[in-house]
Each structure stands twice: as C-alpha cells, then as structure tokens.
Structure 1
Amino acid sequence: MLEQAYLRPGDGAVAADWLLIETFGGARREPTVLAAGSSPKNMVSIRSVLGRGPFLFDVLGVIARVVDSHASVEARTNTGKRRVIAHPLLSYNALVHGAHVWVGPIEEEPPARDPAGAWHINLTQHVSSRSDDLLELYGTRPDKWQNEHDLAELFAYQRLQTNSDEAKALALIVNARVGAEHLATWTVNRDDGVRRAVHFACRCVEVKAPNGRVELVVRGITHDIGPAESVPAAPPPIPILLAQQVLAAEATPGRWRAIVDLRTMRLLKWLDNPMPGVAWTLSGPQRPAVHRGDLHSAVRLSNDLAASGRAEGILRLRAEDGGWMDVAVSAALMALDQHTTAALVTLTVPERGKVG
C-alpha cells in the first residue's frame, strides 16, 4: 500500500517530503524508511512508500552512492524530469547510518529537514558514541561536546525520558544478538530546557575491529519529531510508571542503587544519583574498573546471583581520583523481560572506607 499522505501525484509516486532512511546493515541489509517528514515509520520498505513508480531505483542508487562516498549526492532521475537529493547521517566513527532523501521537480527547493543524529553503542567495549548531529539535536553547546561515553551514561542526567519500553531497551543491551531491533518514542530534555519528542530506531550488528576481533555494535538514529507536548506518544514530564514511583520511594541516604549486567558486572543505569567518588564515566581522568585483584570475587558474585537470586560481597572499584574504593555490594536478580535478567545492585561504603 502506498503512503498516500506523503506522496504527490505526477509522473509516478514521488515523496512530497524528506524520507529518513536507515542503512544499518547487518542481518537485515536492505535500507528501510524510518520517517516520512515528521511521521515515524517503523522500518517499512522503501518500495511501500515510493511504490512501483519510475523513481524507486533512482532512490536506491543514490542511497548506495551516499553509503560509498560518505557525502551528499544529487542526481537527476532516469526520466530527467526530477532530481533526487540525499544527505548522509554519519556516526562518530564516520560510517553512514542513514540518509535524508528527497525526490522532487528540478526547479523546486526541498523543505527543511528535521533534526536527526546517528549514534552507536559498542557493547563489547561498553562505550556509546554520539555524532555531532545528535549533540546538536540535544541542544548541547559546541564547547561542551563529548562524543564518547560509558554505556551507563545513556540513561544518566535526566536527558532521556524513557517510555514504558525502557526495560526492553535494556534487555536489548544485556541479551544482545545480531539482527535485534528496537524502535521507540521518548522525550529529550534538551540542554537549553526545551522538551522534544524523538523517535529512534536501532539494530544490533557484528563489526570486525582493526585487531580482528568481532564486536557487537548497536547502530541507531534519533529523529526529532516535534515538541514533546504535541506528540501523544512522548513520555510526560512526570514519571507515571508505578515501578518508577516505588523505586523513588525506596531511595535511602548512604545507599546507591543501580542496574548491572549480570554477565559482565558492568553498570547499565543508576536508579539514584551516582555513588560519590566512583569513576563511572569516560569524562573523568580514570575509566570505570574493578580492581584486578577482585575480578575473581566479581565472578563469584555473579555466579552466586545467578544460582540463588541474591549475592553480597566487597569489591574495590576505581575512584575518580585514581585510587580504589572499597564498596559493599548487595545484589538481587531483576527481570527485564521474559527472557532477560539483570542485577539490581545496592552499593554502600564499608566502615574501613577508601583504600589505595
């Protein structure tokens, strides 16, 4: 079925607005449409939007050229009566995650494009990366741009206001498999105080690193679809989920709670404010780490948790000042979805405190 609301009559079906198209590749290699104008499309085929008109292969050819060249492309269609314009959405590592594509009369100027930005999460390295386009979408001042972050920073600082599918997004990270996809509409609290509704889509793919190791990477695009107040699917400014209310009520001074990947014991998300003194971001001088001498203890905690549902112990975590902190860890299993579990961890400072 043609997407009639976004097509105009003429010599074949032609997109009347910019199409946002993903080129994530991986297990599903054919590019798909993420949006027509500001209206999200859940990875539908390009053919379903453009139909069987004369411009489908023109568009596919231009997209292929954009992916190869990493640059904008403009070309006339085979009929010579229209032109195709495409602008790439580049990730921080300069790969093409998608493109804005427009087809229209040669003499006509295309409309303005919605803000959109590419991102990726290297699950193997536990690092997320944001493109400059995405940082502009977030309203971040250029002098404050930081492109690489620890994975746990994705859900920090109240920038992303998630919907009821947050657990599903976390499950994708914990139980990553090639070809897994996720789409959602969340709210971005921009750095300038403006609240915008964003639709994002992502896919997990395998990538061969320069050292030959195969790594799991989630490739994604975030698309600004309008003011949060005017998009019904966008989360409201006040959390309404019962689970969020319960967790907020349980916050206790001197105790810091977090969701942790059970397999790797790496931080996924703080439920409270971060524990003071612990190095958990990539912006500080020290990277997050468990002391090498405590790695066996961390594995034991993970095994005990998987076997009995609860575990306790003391681990030395990297401190912000470069030393090590003794941290008491109490963990319980939590379900992210029907097939995925994580660790709900409570951290406290033992009496003997900091060592180093």
Structure 2
Amino acid sequence: MAADWLLVETFGGHRREPTVIAVGSSPRGMVSLRAVLGRGPFLSDAIALVGHVIETGMPAEAATATGKRRVVGHPLKTYGGGVHGVYVWVGRVDERPPDRNPAGAWHINLTRHVSSRSDDLLRLYGTSPENWRNEHDLAELFAYGRLQTNSDESKALAMLVRATAGTEHQATWTVRRDDGIRRAAHFACRCVEVPTGRGKVELVVRGITQDIGLAESVPAAPPSTPVLLAQQVLAAEATPDRWRAIVDLRTMRLLRWLDDPLPGAAWKLDAPHRPAIHRMDLRTAVTMSDQLAFSGRTQGTLRLRTEDGGWMKVIVTAALMLLDQHTTAALVTLALPGGDQAD
C-alpha cells in the first residue's frame, strides 16, 4: 500500500520551518517533518523539495539520495499565486502515489477586511466555475450556512478581532457543498505580517482547508444542527423583522450574520456601494460603543448604506458579548422603524 500524502503548511511568519498539518485524512497539529518522517534518509530530500516548490510555485519530483525512493511535491496556491502549502509524497521509484484529498488555500486580510479563496477551495466547496468569486468581505466567510462551525467558533472570531502575528488556529468544521453534500473540513491557519511595499504592514491570516471525508463519518465534524456561539446568543432567538449580527467593536465592521442578512443593506465586497454608516451618524455610533463598554447594552438609530447607494434608517440594539477571556464584540439586533427610508 502506498504511503499517504503529507500536507505541509508554508505560511511563514514567526515559524519559518514548514510543518505537517495532515497525513492523508488525519489532521496533525503543525508538527515538524522530522516528527513524521523520523531521522531516516528521506528527511533532507523532502525538506529540499518543499523549498523548491515554494520557490518555483510548480510541482516537482526528485529521486532521493539513496536512489531507492522518489519525492513528489504539489503546491497549494492562493488566489494571488502565493504558495500556502505543499503536498509531499515519498515512495518507491516504481510506486504510484495515492489520490490526494481535496484542499484549498485561502487568506484573510484583516487590515482590509477582505477574504480570498483559491480556485482549489471553490472546487472543494463544489461551486460551479461560472459562480466563482475569489474575493469577499470578511463577513461572507460565515454567510449562507456553508460553514457549520464547532464550539470553537468564538475562538476563531476572537482571532479575527484581536489577531497578532504568530496567532494560530486549527479546527474541524463541516462544509455544506453547493450540491448539498456535507463534508468534514480541517483547516489550519496563522496570522502573519505582510509588508505592502509602501512602508506599511498588513495583518493577514494564511490558511489551508482540507476535505477529510463525509461529515457523518468524521466524529470531530459538527452535526447538522448549528453550534451557536454562547448562551447569550441562544437567549436571543431569531424573530420576524429582526436581523442579528456580530460586530467588531474596534472597527464597527460586520463579522458575521447570525440570521439571513438585512435585505437591501450593503455589506458584500462586490456590492455597487461599499458598506458604511452615514457620516452624520458616526458620533452616535461612537457614543453607542462607549455606552456598550460601560453598561453592556445600548440602543440607537443609525443610517446604513444600501445596495442602491441610498441610506437605510435602522434601530440598533446591542449587547456586549465575550468571544474569549480577553475579547469582546457586539451582539447586534437590527430592526426597521416602519420600513422608512432616510433621505
């Protein structure tokens, strides 16, 4: 039986040495290649091949130093063309490698609030090529029920709110493909600092998602019933004509919808008009944020940008929520005051 493919992350950042995040369909906790391959004669060959694939961005194959094995590598590229990972296989010269588990690279630019998906990831999602969109607003990560998260979702959101270079996260969630099939998906990611070339640095979360089997056959995969963030969210059940969301208090930007998005509101990256709070309401928004930090609850009326470029008056009720021990966000409920539109 042929040896399994190793999935190696090449995110960079504080951890310069690539690490193994999966052996076949079995996730690994970012362990060294040495921990998987041992101190045998193939370790240096595998390390050299990974370096070559990172440098060239192309698949590669080479005989080992002993001549009895060969090492094969395939890159996992981001939408922008960077190499976020390498599939590595070591086997006999006359041996055929097994099929590789589907996987796709992605990254989230926290500075610009934009997430990017590679073509490989869209294939994993079962998305038809005519519907491919590689860049999204960060809030679209959790939209439309594609991702069924585990109990660590609040930890993942906390990472997006207060990530620093070197922060890492791994988890197994369930992906509901566009054809309705539920697949267990293991992901690993790391936050790194990326120079922009203009003397500035952006915070970017680099990640890989791998399909590890049918969701029903992987015990770690979340069930079809969603796992909500916290008891405070359970208490705030969805009601008609109310739309719930989680908002980053520092930036006042949307992290995710808990229900269907508010109809007509501009919130997607590809909307004709970018999301915004009316400039005359910014002072009100800051006051509400201050009240929320002080008392844990607040309410006010704001005008939000609409998809057609106008403004929508919305009653905003917010409660402070804990994402983790050190990170808070706003659990926001939106309501329309009789459907009136602002001038």
TM-score, with structure 2 as normaliser: 0.95
**Aligned residue number for residue 150 of structure 2:** 163
Change (3 A) 1:204 1:294: same
**Aligned residue number for residue 11 of structure 1:** none
Query: Once the 2 structures are TM-superposed, how far is the Cα of residue 355 of structure 1 from its aligned partner?
Result: 2.4
Change (3 A) 1:97 1:273: same
Query: Once the 2 structures are TM-superposed, how far is the Cα of residue 354 of structure 1 from its aligned partner?
Result: 1.4
Alignment pair present for 1:337 and 2:324:
yes
Query: Once the 2 structures are TM-superposed, how far is the Cα of residue 252 of structure 1 from its aligned partner?
Result: 1.6
For 1:276, what is the secondary structure of its paired residue?
A: coil
Compare 191-200 and 292-301 and name the one that shifted more: 292-301
CA RMSD of aligned residues (A): 1.9
Query: Once the 2 structures are TM-superposed, how far is the Cα of residue 244 of structure 1 from its aligned partner?
Result: 7.5
Match of 1:147 among 134, 138, 163: 134
**Aligned residue number for residue 93 of structure 1:** 80
**Aligned residue number for residue 276 of structure 1:** 263
Change (3 A) 1:249 1:300: closer
For 1:206, what is the secondary structure of its paired residue?
A: strand
**Aligned residue number for residue 120 of structure 1:** 107
Change (3 A) 1:296 1:214: farther
Supply the AA of the counterpart residue of 2:42. F
Structure 2: unaligned runs, 5 residues or longer: none
**Aligned residue number for residue 75 of structure 1:** 62
TM-score, with structure 1 as normaliser: 0.92
- Matched positions, count: 343
Supply the AA of the counterpart residue of 1:23. T
Alignment pair present for 1:353 and 2:340:
yes
For 2:208, what is the secondary structure of its paired residue?
A: strand
- The whole-number CA distance in structure 2 between the counterparts of 1:315 and 1:279 is 14
Query: Once the 2 structures are TM-superposed, how far is the Cα of residue 255 of structure 1 from its aligned partner?
Result: 1.6
For 2:144, what is the secondary structure of its paired residue?
A: coil
Query: Once the 2 structures are TM-superposed, how far is the Cα of residue 109 of structure 1 from its aligned partner?
Result: 1.4
Structure 1: unaligned runs, 5 residues or longer: 1-7, 9-14
Alignment pair present for 1:133 and 2:124:
no
Match of 1:34 among 21, 26, 33: 21
Supply the AA of the counterpart residue of 2:289. S
**Aligned residue number for residue 237 of structure 1:** 224
Alignment pair present for 1:226 and 2:213:
yes
Supply the AA of the counterpart residue of 1:251. A
**Aligned residue number for residue 266 of structure 1:** 253
**Aligned residue number for residue 305 of structure 1:** 292
1:325-354 Cα deviation digits (max 9, x unpaired): 122212110001111110011111235721
Identity of aligned residues (%): 70
For 1:272, what is the secondary structure of its paired residue?
A: coil
- The whole-number CA distance in structure 2 between the counterparts of 1:214 and 1:245 is 36
- The whole-number CA distance in structure 2 between the counterparts of 1:74 and 1:271 is 46
- The whole-number CA distance in structure 2 between the counterparts of 1:258 and 1:284 is 19
Q: Do 1:247 and 1:271's aligned partners in 2 also have CA atoms closer than 8 Å?
A: no
Q: Do 1:24 and 1:97's aligned partners in 2 also have CA atoms closer than 8 Å?
A: yes
**Aligned residue number for residue 177 of structure 2:** 190
Match of 1:203 among 178, 181, 190: 190
Query: Once the 2 structures are TM-superposed, how far is the Cα of residue 308 of structure 1 from its aligned partner?
Result: 2.3
Q: Do 1:77 and 1:83's aligned partners in 2 also have CA atoms closer than 8 Å?
A: yes
Q: Do 2:150 and 2:227's aligned partners in 1 also have CA atoms closer than 8 Å?
A: no
1:264-308 Cα deviation digits (max 9, x unpaired): 110011111111110111232222222233333322322222222
Alignment pair present for 1:176 and 2:156:
no
